[in-house]
Amino acid sequence: MSKKILVIGASGQIGTELVEGLRDRFGAEDVVASDIKEPQVRQSGPFALVNAMDRRGIERVIDKHGISEVYLLAALLSATAEKDPAFAWKLNMESILIILELAREGKLRKVYWPSSIAVFGPTTPKDKTPQHTTTEPSTVYGISKLAGEGWCKYYHQRYGVDVRSIRYPGLIGWKSAPGGGTTDYAVHIFHEAIKKGAYTSFLGPESTLPMMYMPDAIRATIDLMEAPVEQVKERGSYNLAGLSFSPEQIAAEVARHIPGFKMAYAPDERQAYADSWPRSIDDSAARADWGWKPQYDLTAMVDDMMAHLRTKLKAS
């Protein structure tokens, strides 16, 4: 049976790059991008404007294109969600429940939904955080991701829905802009370093968080979705680790490329969200079940980011 993919939230930080990755792998015409806003980049394949909370609208896109798999990425992230908790809960929950229902009704064969390190909270062990551990999130974003994981597991166990998920760490890429996360500083730093030679971090110097370079995250996502069904044993969401670093560590790496680079620190409300999250993640379940292995360490990531972003910013 042929595979037709719909990406909801395709104009965001992950969506922009995931659509590209999926189109490279499965062909531009077989990957439909959708969002409530226009894409950040020129599309090489179909695009539909649709709201992730509009079940009818999503069904129309599914029917029109004969969609068999959905990647649902639309969400409010940690910092934005705290500004409007009620709306964050509504968007983050309604969207996943619509897709799980469509899958239960047999309209979809497979679903991807991202969770986050934000499911963890102050009572979670901070280093090498295990796959199964205390999850008492303190942000509304984390609460919604934890509830979503519960729903995914429930729909899998009760209705046999093939839904797969990863708890992403902070994601860093040069192709798309991040939107509203606590880990966004690790993207902003590159833009400001190249443009101004200086950056003021909204997290303090020692805030170590789990992070990942986007090419690793995209590869992990597609690999998990392509893994044989019997290899996918976690039906809540998989822990995934790439690298862990603090603002002062990434600043030192950036300074290798930008001599005289100046880093300052002005922690804001996002510091509290960061403080509630782990420093590093144990991803042995993902490694054992479907062969996950990251490729980029901090130096390799910074070198690659710098090279691509310099070219991109020069061209713009």
Site for ligand SER (CB under 6 A): which residue of 16, 34, 182, 237? Answer: 182
Does residue 247 interact with ligand SER by CB under 6 A? no
Q: How far is the CB of 168 from ligand SER (least distance, A)?
A: 6
Put residue 5 in one of left, alpha, beta given phi > 0 → left and psi -120 to 50 → alpha: beta
Q: How far is the CB of 181 from ligand SER (least distance, A)?
A: 3
Backbone angles phi, psi at 282, to 5 degrees: -90, 115
What separation in angstroms does the CA of 258 have from each of 124, 175, 177, 233, 254?
Answer: 37, 20, 21, 44, 6
Does residue 210 interact with ligand SER by CB under 6 A? no
In the shown chain, the binding pattern of residues 63 to 92 toward ligand SER, with x for contact by CB under 6 A and - for none, equals --------------xx--------------
Q: Judged by CB, which is closer to ligand SER: 32, or 209?
A: 209
Q: How far is the CB of 296 from ligand SER (least distance, A)?
A: 17
State how far the Cα of 146 lies from the Cα of 130, in Å rounded to an integer: 15
Does residue 221 interact with ligand SER by CB under 6 A? no
Does residue 121 interact with ligand SER by CB under 6 A? no
Q: Quick check: helix, strand or coil at residue 124?
A: coil
Q: Where are the alpha helices (DSSP H) in the chain?
A: 13-26, 55-65, 78-83, 85-104, 140-159, 185-196, 214-226, 247-257, 270-275, 284-290, 298-315
Put residue 140 in one of left, alpha, beta given phi > 0 → left and psi -120 to 50 → alpha: alpha
Structure tokens at 173: 């890429």
Return the range that interacts with ligand SER (CB under 6 A); candidates 29-37, 113-121, 197-205, 256-264. Answer: 113-121
Site for ligand SER (CB under 6 A): which residue of 113, 168, 199, 290? Answer: 168
Does residue 237 interact with ligand SER by CB under 6 A? no
Active site residues: 141
What residues make contact with ligand SER under the rule CB under 6 A?
A: 77-78, 116-118, 141, 168, 170, 181-183
